[in-house]
Structure 1
Amino acid sequence: GGEWAGAVLLAVEHSPEKKRGLFGSIPQIGLALGLALGTGMFALLQTVFDDEQFLRFGWRIAFVLSLVLVIVGLVVRLKVDETPAFQAVRDLEQRSSAPLREVFQGRVARNTVLGMLSRWGEGAAFNTWGVFAITYATKTLHFEKVPVLLVVTVAAVVMAILLPFSGSLADRFGPQRVYIVGIAAYGLAIFPAFALFGTENLLLFGVAMVVVFGVIHALFYGAQGTLYASLYPTEIRYTGLSVVYQFSGIYASGVTPLILTALIGATGGSPWLACGYLVATSAISVVATAAIRKRDLHL
């Protein structure tokens, strides 16, 4: 997460002009594979150990194994070269001395605000399907933990497979258009998804999760990196991309499970008010993304 902006920029700014969407979708695969590794590993550990063993030491194994990924990431970060676009700015001595201030100034400030609003739906969607749904399925629907974790793992793998297709669509139709269509599809799918959850049938729960998380989330998430990279000129692009993604994560992602839990609790266990909130995040993101003017884009 912390390296997301850098990873996206390395991909987009090294890409051929007509394949920026495809290249920009590749770093997004990290989210899907990371989630699949996490849920898959916990499903395996909870199968191998009983509840007492898992709570006592089993869960620690996953975190120890994650050190391998930290080492891989560190090696990549130390060896990677700067992008050609940034090298050109550096050679011309056009680097910004205060990029954080500049992303909130002038015409660029409009893109910053719209970018953060456009991410509301994506952040809410990820933490709904990847985090909240696990608790909802085990505590409210009373499914066993391991099958639920496996469902999320399968959905994440499907997402990883489909993300490059989303990137290719972004190259053909533009990342802005693909992102709007995907976020709108997420909004339309929320009520049907929770209706399937309400059947308390594990198979239907799995189908709903694969559709909304594996397919629909891949559609807009694959286009997101290229879209956000185009919001800023090269000299402030890294900072701007980080601001849009990380600042919006506070309200778009971090508090979503708390909001959904509170809304469901306030309605006596009914999920429909919570669904209304999620639809609202979709609507906000669609409007904000559509308001981004092509003349203000920089790729």
Structure 2
Amino acid sequence: MHTGLPVAILVTKYRRAVLLGTLGVMAPLFIQSLLAVFMVPYVVEAGVVTRETALYMLTLSNFVHVFTIPFFAWVSDRVGRRRTMVAGAVFSAVAIWPMFALFDSGSPVLVALAFLVGNPLIQASMFGPVGAYLSEMFEPTARYSGVSATYQLGSLLGAGLARSSRKSSSPPTPGRATSVSTSWRRTSSAVWPCGSRATRESEG
């Protein structure tokens, strides 16, 4: 049984779990924040749709998102957390290119499709297993503080990077959205599988 401050316990015993868990959480939270803080203003400033329409598109994708997150969580229960997470990372590294191409298309219909690819598929395929993934990295006596700290650090770094990219970005130009996919590809294909290696799970 652990005694002492929760933060001290995490620093002394669970440094690796917190670090790798944070890296694993960064990728899905980055794409979720990117769609809201970067892509909505992007399509509006590019003159593709109005702000109201863009928000409707994002809301629709979030509605579908409600169903796909539990679906990918269910998949992880059946085939394992690690397999689902790595498959999600590989899928995301591939699908991010056509998603940004759809955002650059100038077509309202294709932009709506891009939002549907982004949240319900790319983000959910990585985020679905997160709840179980994080909880299995910590023993019961440190689970609450460990999951909380890891998730908040991942949110700070992942979502924070998306917000920073918005502030430092130049005005919308053709191909601008597609160029963002290079850095995102590195995040999903390298960071997420790195975190998945630390998962301690019992399958079957």
TM-score (norm 2): 0.88
Distance 1:266 1:211, change over 3 A: closer
**1:120 and 2:42 equivalent?**
no
* Structure 2: segments with no counterpart, 5+ residues: none
Q: Is the 8 A contact 2:133 2:199 kept in 1?
A: no
Aligned-pair identity (%) = 21
**Selected match of 1:177 from 56, 79, 83:** 83
Tell me the amino acid that sits aligned with residue 98 of structure 1: L
Distance 1:101 1:141, change over 3 A: farther
Q: Is the 8 A contact 2:46 2:172 kept in 1?
A: no
Cα distance between partner residues in 2 of 1:220 and 1:170: 10
Cα distance between partner residues in 1 of 2:173 and 2:51: 25
- Alpha-carbon offset, residue 185 of structure 1: 1.7
- Alpha-carbon offset, residue 220 of structure 1: 2.1
* Structure 1: segments with no counterpart, 5+ residues: 1-93
Cα distance between partner residues in 1 of 2:174 and 2:102: 19
**Selected match of 2:187 from 259, 281, 285:** 281
Please name the residue that 1:100 is paired with: 7
| CA deviations over 1:213-254 (Å, ceiling 9, x no partner) | 122322221211100111100111111111111112222112
Q: Is the 8 A contact 1:176 1:289 kept in 2?
A: no
Cα distance between partner residues in 1 of 2:189 and 2:53: 32
- Alpha-carbon offset, residue 278 of structure 1: 1.2
Cα distance between partner residues in 2 of 1:266 and 1:143: 13
Q: Secondary structure at the match of 1:105?
A: helix
**Selected match of 1:204 from 110, 128, 131:** 110
Please name the residue that 1:233 is paired with: 139
The Cα RMSD (Å) is 2.4
**1:152 and 2:27 equivalent?**
no
The answer to which structure, 1 or 2, has the higher relative contact order (CA under 8 A, 6+ apart) is: 2
Cα distance between partner residues in 2 of 1:278 and 1:166: 21
1:16-27 → structure 2 map (5 Å cutoff): none
Q: Highest Rg: 1 or 2?
A: 1
Q: Is the 8 A contact 2:82 2:197 kept in 1?
A: no
Tell me the amino acid that sits aligned with residue 5 of structure 2: A
1:1-299 → structure 2 map (5 Å cutoff): 94=1, 96-106=3-13, 108-264=14-170, 270-292=176-198, 294=200
Distance 1:250 1:225, change over 3 A: same
